[in-house]
């Protein structure tokens, strides 16, 4: 290229300095075009490589669930996430959850984008409002603490951005808890709330409680706990009262017996 340009410029009649300046200018522009073309080519190659990676990546690697994220507000929804933090499966545990999922498209999105879409949809449908309870559980075998911190921070930021003040209960669960909850067609948070209710209320079965919000279940548990303590306190009070009456009766009997003994002793004398 440089030799061709020199030959062209040798045939041009002009001041040598002007020819040199013009030559340098043209050479610079040509090099710039080469750089731009190279960057564009590099970008195309990178994009093609990414597409090829997705095409030749084993399907089971992308579709394998590495974590489960369950949300319960009363719409109860499960998200299955792969190693790339993408939503590869969704499940509604109740009608409210299905209503939300029918209005959105979140498969193959990052879990952050999916959470943003779900939270905003639940806000628009009136499920998330001030003073509500927002629960989320995470079940994963890898980087649990890192996942949980990121999840808590992100959910909090989305709720704040939407000017919603709610109670948040976000925690991790083990695989067994997740499996048992899934078998009962419940989120882990609701499953655990019902188990807690069953400790104080035998009528709190999974079927009886599944259509209630976690807040309602916890409130019912609290009422039964308080009621149980009140009944226990009343029973203790009645027992103490009975014991007190028994003591007084024994004292009276002792007094009467003493009088009689004294009388007998007196009569004897």
- Judge whether residue 11 has pLDDT over 90: no
Looking at per-residue pLDDT, the higher value among 48 and 35 belongs to 48
Helices in 162-213 by DSSP H: which ranges?
Answer: 175-183, 188-198, 206-209
Under the banding of pLDDT at 50, 70 and 90, the label for residue 43 is low
Judged by DSSP in three states, 224 sits in helix
Sheet holding 167-172, edge to edge: 87-92, 76-81, 67-72, 133-140, 167-172
Note whether 97 and 75 are within 8 A (CB): yes
Under the banding of pLDDT at 50, 70 and 90, the label for residue 3 is low
Which pLDDT score, from 0 to 100, does residue 131 have? 84
Looking at per-residue pLDDT, the higher value among 100 and 44 belongs to 100
Q: Which of 151, 202, 197, 199 is nearest to 172 (CA)?
A: 151
Note whether 109 and 191 are within 8 A (CB): no
Return the percentage of the chain with pLDDT > 70, whole number. Answer: 62
**Over residues 235-243, mean pLDDT:** 48
Note whether 30 and 1 are within 8 A (CB): yes
Say which range, 24-28, 131-135, 223-227, has the weakest mean pLDDT. Answer: 24-28
Q: Could you tell me how far CA 156 lies from the centroid of its own chain?
A: 11
CB within 8 A of 2, min separation 6: which ones? 27
Q: How many Cβ atoms from other residues are within 10 Å of residue 209's Cβ? A: 23
Q: How far is CA 87 from each of CA 59, 62, 74, 151, rounded to the nearest angstrom?
A: 14, 10, 21, 14
- Judge whether residue 15 has pLDDT over 60: no
Longest alpha-carbon distance in the chain: 165
Which pLDDT score, from 0 to 100, does residue 61 have? 78
Looking at per-residue pLDDT, the higher value among 229 and 224 belongs to 224
Q: Is 153 exposed, middle or buried (0-12, 13-18, 19+ CB in 10 A)?
A: exposed
- Judge whether residue 239 has pLDDT over 70: no
Q: Could you tell me how far CA 268 lies from the centroid of its own chain?
A: 89
Question: Cα(17)–Cα(15) distance, rounded to whole angstroms?
Answer: 6
Under the banding of pLDDT at 50, 70 and 90, the label for residue 107 is very high
Say which range, 51-55, 65-69, 165-169, 170-174, has the weakest mean pLDDT. Answer: 51-55
Under the banding of pLDDT at 50, 70 and 90, the label for residue 60 is confident
Q: E strands, the chain, where?
A: 67-72, 76-81, 87-92, 133-140, 167-172
Say which range, 31-40, 165-174, 249-258, has the weakest mean pLDDT. Answer: 249-258
Q: Which of 81, 75, 95, 89 is nearest to 187 (CA)?
A: 75
Q: Strand 167-172 relative to strand 133-140: parallel, antiparallel, unpaired?
A: parallel
Q: What is the pLDDT of residues 166-220, one digit of tens each?
A: 999 999 999 999 999 999 999 999 999 999 999 999 899 999 999 999 999 999 9
- Mean pLDDT of all residues belonging to the chain: 79
Say which range, 26-30, 161-165, 242-246, has the weakest mean pLDDT. Answer: 242-246
What global pTM score does this model have? 0.65
Direct distance between the N- and C-terminal alpha carbons of the chain, in angstroms, rounded to an integer:
150
């Amino acid at each position: 290229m440089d030799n061709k340009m020199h030959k062209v410029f040798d045939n041009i009649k002009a001041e040598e300095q002007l020819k040199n300046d013009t030559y340098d200018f043209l050479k610079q522009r040509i090099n710039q075009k080469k750089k731009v073309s190279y960057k564009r080519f590099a970008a195309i190659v990178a994009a093609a490589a990414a597409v090829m990676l997705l095409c030749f990546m084993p399907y089971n690697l992308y579709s394998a669930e590495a974590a489960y994220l369950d949300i319960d507000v009363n719409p109860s929804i499960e998200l299955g996430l792969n190693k790339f933090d993408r939503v590869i499966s969704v499940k509604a545990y109740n009608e409210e959850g299905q209503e939300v999922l029918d209005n959105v498209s979140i498969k193959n999105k990052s879990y952050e984008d999916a959470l943003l879409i779900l939270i905003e949809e639940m806000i628009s449908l009136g499920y998330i409002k001030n003073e509500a309870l927002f629960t989320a559980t995470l079940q994963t075998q890898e980087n649990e603490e890192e996942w949980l911190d990121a999840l808590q921070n992100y959910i909090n930021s989305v709720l704040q951005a939407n000017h919603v003040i709610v109670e948040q209960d976000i925690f991790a669960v083990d695989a067994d808890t997740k499996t048992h909850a899934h078998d009962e067609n419940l989120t882990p948070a609701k499953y655990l709330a019902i188990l807690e209710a069953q400790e104080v209320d035998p009528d709190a079965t999974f079927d009886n409680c599944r259509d209630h919000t976690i807040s309602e279940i916890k409130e019912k548990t609290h009422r039964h706990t308080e009621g149980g303590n009140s009944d226990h306190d009343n029973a203790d009070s009645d027992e103490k009262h009975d014991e007190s009456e028994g003591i007084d009766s024994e004292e009276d009997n002792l007094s009467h017996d003493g009088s009689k003994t004294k009388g007998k002793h007196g009569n004897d004398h």
